[in-house]
Amino acid sequence: MNYKEYTANRISELCGLPLEEVSKLIETPPEQKLGDLAFPCFSLAKAMRKAPQIIAKELSEKFSGDRYIENAEAVGGYLNFFYNRAEFTKDIVNEVLEKGEDYGKSSMGGGKTVLVEYSSPNIAKPFHIGHLFTTALGHSLARIYEFLGYDVKRLNHLGDWGTQFGKLICAYKLWGDDEAIEKDAIGELLKIYVKFHEEAEKNPELEDTAREHFKRLEDGEEEEVRLWQKFRDLSLKEFKRVYDMLGVDFDSYNGESFYSDKMPEVVEILRDKGLLTESDGAKVVDLAELNIPPCIILKSDGATIYATRDIAAALYRHRTYDFYKNIYVVGTAQALHFQQIFSVMKKAGWDWAEGCEHVNFGLVKFPDKKLSTRHGDVVFLEDVLNESVSKTLDIITKNTPQMENKEEVSKKVGIGAVLYTFLKNSREKDIVFSWDTMLDFDGESAPYVQYSYARGRSILRRAGDTEKTADFSSVTSDEEYALVTMLSGFYDAAALAAEKNEPFYVNRYVTNLARQFNKFYVSCPILKDGIPEEVKNARLNIVEAVCTVIKSALFLLGIETVENM
């Protein structure tokens, strides 16, 4: 049962105020001792011609004997509600146990499609640690929107087009080593790409050759297309290895190349609508009325740019998916770019452009640069993930040498630690990379939350079969009630995360839940000799409910749980 809705309905019936208005006025007190909910009666004073204090006192008396509200206390002009703890605990815990991993899910997104574009690495370029910010954020948002009932499509807008491919084809023809590329595709392709730039400084004619190769690629010449496809396939193979480590997948890998033949229509539409003007030979859309620099659609040489491709991509997505939201998880540095293209689409009269959103994020910073990587200044994501797993294995081996499945646990905990770090704060904050913080089993970290889950599972295993019908009247202490109250907030955390496009609300929620669970574990013995059977059984039910919600919340963050640590 939704206790907030129940309380709002009762207030609405008793005072005649519309339910919607009551719902807006109801507050959650800052401290548990002040009640579960509070209703300010000041807005009723004029209509009822009474002082708020008197209204609160009269309303409180009408809640006497309520099954779900144990006490409605008038304090000044406020009416503070205290739930019946036994009833509330029974309702929440039983609902979690009945629904399992479906607890907290919603149908609010039913019939609506949300597109989430994220990760989007460049072909033949390193998949570095900076890509994890967009990948972790996008993966988590996709899961959160699905949890709320939306039909989610995951899009990987690969950087697989542009003049750099002419340079890479030229470099491959001059210095390509197929055997070396087969062993380390990204590393070798990057190596010859860098060599091209070094040699082009000495021999500028190489740039002309590269442009010729890209022109032939655009024209669909067999040799250039074959090499471009080879580079793309090799890159995706390496990217997939990292995606598999993270549990990430996509519904579409349509990159920039996919939209190359769709840009002429965009140019034609903007021209027909009279939006294109000339500026230094280029064709632009003037956005001066919005205090935004003009958006270039065609360069002076007639070539298209990123903006043209992104507008073509948005138009294609609208026609293909008829989306409710089209979310771009891209760094803050691209904020102006998205302002421009969204503004152009709105000027074109495309109402659906209102559903396009740029979800930006900060930078990744390294205070000491002490990361073991074989690639010099480029910090490969795969190296970071492997090092995190290795460091986690060292910690577990030292602390729990007898654990049988150390390698499997280390992989889940090590990768979870990295993901958690990228989702623990508001996405606009920069990430300061620190192994000590990430792998702190006692601090604000994935290992701490994962250990809390493993502790709960260990209790349940030791207890054996648990009676599912429990008497919760004996488990209403502050510690027990605070924990169950937190369970009831799971949906709100997920809904807020979607509303703000901020997974950190789920991260903060599950961390606080783990922290409250550990307080409960210390204060409320479960399997200790002498604990009455009905108390033990009720507490075991609470433990199982907590484990269920921790697992679900971590899943929304892309983090796996472990059964023992």
Write out the catalytic residue numbers.
Answer: 125, 128, 131
**CA atoms within 13 A of residue 473's CA, in its CB half-sphere:** 2
Q: Confirm if 418 and 132 have CB atoms less than 8 A apart.
A: yes
Collapsing DSSP to helix, strand or coil, 128 comes out as strand
In one-letter notation, the amino acid at residue 235 is S
How far apart CA 208 and CA 428 sit, in angstroms, is: 41
SS (H, E, C) 142-198: HHHHHHCCCEEEEECCCECCCHHHHHHHHHHHHHCCHHHHHHCHHHHHHHHHHHHHH
**Strand 37-40 and strand 276-279: pairing?**
unpaired
Per-residue CA distances from 67 to 7, 61, 70 (Å): 12, 14, 7
Q: Which of 305, 320, 387, 384 is nearest to 352 (CA)?
A: 320
Neighbouring CB atoms inside 10 A of 234's CB total 19
Residues 6+ apart with CB under 8 A from 138: 116, 117, 118, 119, 154, 327, 329
Residues 6+ apart with CB under 8 A from 339: 292, 358
DSSP class of residue 27 equals: B
Neighbouring C-beta atoms of residue 374, cutoff 10 Å: 9
**How many whole angstroms separate alpha carbon 170 and alpha carbon 296?**
29
Angle, alpha carbons 460-547-415 (nearest 5°): 115
Residue found under tokens 């913080």:
437
d(CA 320, CA 136) in angstroms, rounded, equals 26
What whole-number distance in Å separates Cα of residue 257 and Cα of residue 164?
13
Q: What are the φ and ψ backbone dihedral angles of 101, each rounded to 5 degrees?
A: -75, 0
